[in-house]
Amino acid sequence: MGDQNKNVPRLRFPGYTDDWVKCELGKVVTFVNGRAYKQEEMLDSGKYKILRVGNFYTNDSWYYSDLELPDNKYIDNGDLIYTWSATFGPHIWSGEKVIYHYHIWKVVLSEEIDKKFVLQILDADRAKIIANSNGSTMIHITKTDMESKQIVIPNIDEQRKIGEFFKQLDDLITVNERELNKLKDLKKSYLEKMFPKNGSDIPELRFPGYADAWVKCELGKFSESYSGGTPSVRNIDYYGGNIPFIRSAEINANSTELFLTEEGIVNSSAKMVQRGDILYALYGATSGEVGISRINGAINQAILAIKLNENKDDSMFLMQWLQKQKAQIINTFIQGGQGNLSGQIVKNLIVSRPCIEEQKQIGAFFNQLNNTITVNERELNKLKELKKSYLKDMFV
């Protein structure tokens, strides 16, 4: 454990007791700009790929160059780099030798700093910059600002220990992220194959024993639905009771932030729902989100409760159908993705559905897949929180 009266972290590897040393980041690393290319220099094929910021995030296409440049204008496998325009942050390059664009810095290290250690410093600094940006998408970073940042570092041996520790933790997080993405992609694929495509009444993939065509029907013809309301916030007697008040961001939650009294229910348009009811978000940023209520409680006007005859239709099946249709519903009924849905729009949706037995099998299949995804998300979040805790305790 570190001595808080000294310039040392709270948590250290055994055998290290020296104080950490303050210095400017620019004293131990050098940020080297890439090259600003003219359009005619960016070729469809050539000797070297030109690495751009987009290649790290959204763009899989590449330009090439035959230019021969100074050594510091190339990035080799394992080099530390920093993207500083639009989307920003540190990366360790994994790939062939490339030329890099002006909006990327190559981070050249002195003998006093370890690559894996300074990667964590830069990544933690990135998180601070984002947290202090107040949601702005235009974050301006200059090389002078980066070089003047004050950091605190131990000797190179302790740096290497810390850097390797966090590399292993980052690798574990990456493996879990990949597994989670695979599961989400798998679910997306099954949603496409296990529900009929437009113009068809039979899905591509079915459980054995089912061959009948699915039947189309308006949702309002085989379900009951209603929205709730919000008790007046001016009356304190309506709030603070023991009835959960479910809002649109909480349709999949196990608890709520607000609670109503019996008086609040009686004297308002708030409506009760039961565990197992389908909850569909109508308003704002959550429009089109759908869930199965996990609690008994009251809903406000931003939620449509949908109740089915359990002997004829399966709630889990319908929830998956609504989830699959979300993008189409939003694009059809909400201009530019901004605005609200209505209960009548949802009731008028044409649902394609099979017999109750097949519905239940499909619903149970996706419920199990959802549970697996949820478990993986929780494990990933635990690892990320663990890393945050270690970063706090193992750095000054």
Render pLDDT for 149-172 as a digit per residue (tens, 0 to 9): 999 999 999 999 999 999 999 999
Whose CA is closest to 147, among 88, 92, 107, 87? Answer: 107
Render pLDDT for 285-311 as a digit per residue (tens, 0 to 9): 889 999 999 999 999 999 999 999 989
Instruction: State the CB neighbour count (10 A cutoff) for residue 392.
Output: 12
Of 37-41, 58-62, 156-160, 176-180, the range with the lowest mean pLDDT is 58-62
Amino acid at 256: T
> Which residues, in sequence order, are CB contacts of 327 under 8 Å at separation 6+?
none
369 neighbors 186 (Cβ within 8 angstroms): yes
Using CA atoms of 317, 291, 349, 369 in order, give the dihedral in degrees to the nearest 10: -40
Whose CA is closest to 293, among 274, 271, 308? Answer: 274
Q: pLDDT band at 4, cuts 50/70/90?
A: very low
19 neighbors 98 (Cβ within 8 angstroms): no
**Domains of the chain: residue spans and CATH:** 21-153 (3.90.220.20), 156-209+354-396 (1.10.287.1120), 215-353 (3.90.220.20)
Whose CA is closest to 20, among 6, 34, 31? Answer: 6
How would DSSP label each residue in 325-367?
THHHHHHHHSGGG-S---HHHHHT-EEEE--HHHHHHHHHHHH
Q: pLDDT band at 392, cuts 50/70/90?
A: very high
**Beta-bridge partner residues of 243:** 260
Q: pLDDT band at 245, cuts 50/70/90?
A: very high
Render pLDDT for 204-225 as a digit per residue (tens, 0 to 9): 999 999 999 999 999 999 999 9
Render pLDDT for 58-68 as a digit per residue (tens, 0 to 9): 667 899 999 89
Q: What is the mean pLDDT of residues 41-56?
A: 90
379 neighbors 176 (Cβ within 8 angstroms): yes
- Measured distance CA(95)–CA(100) in Å, rounded: 13
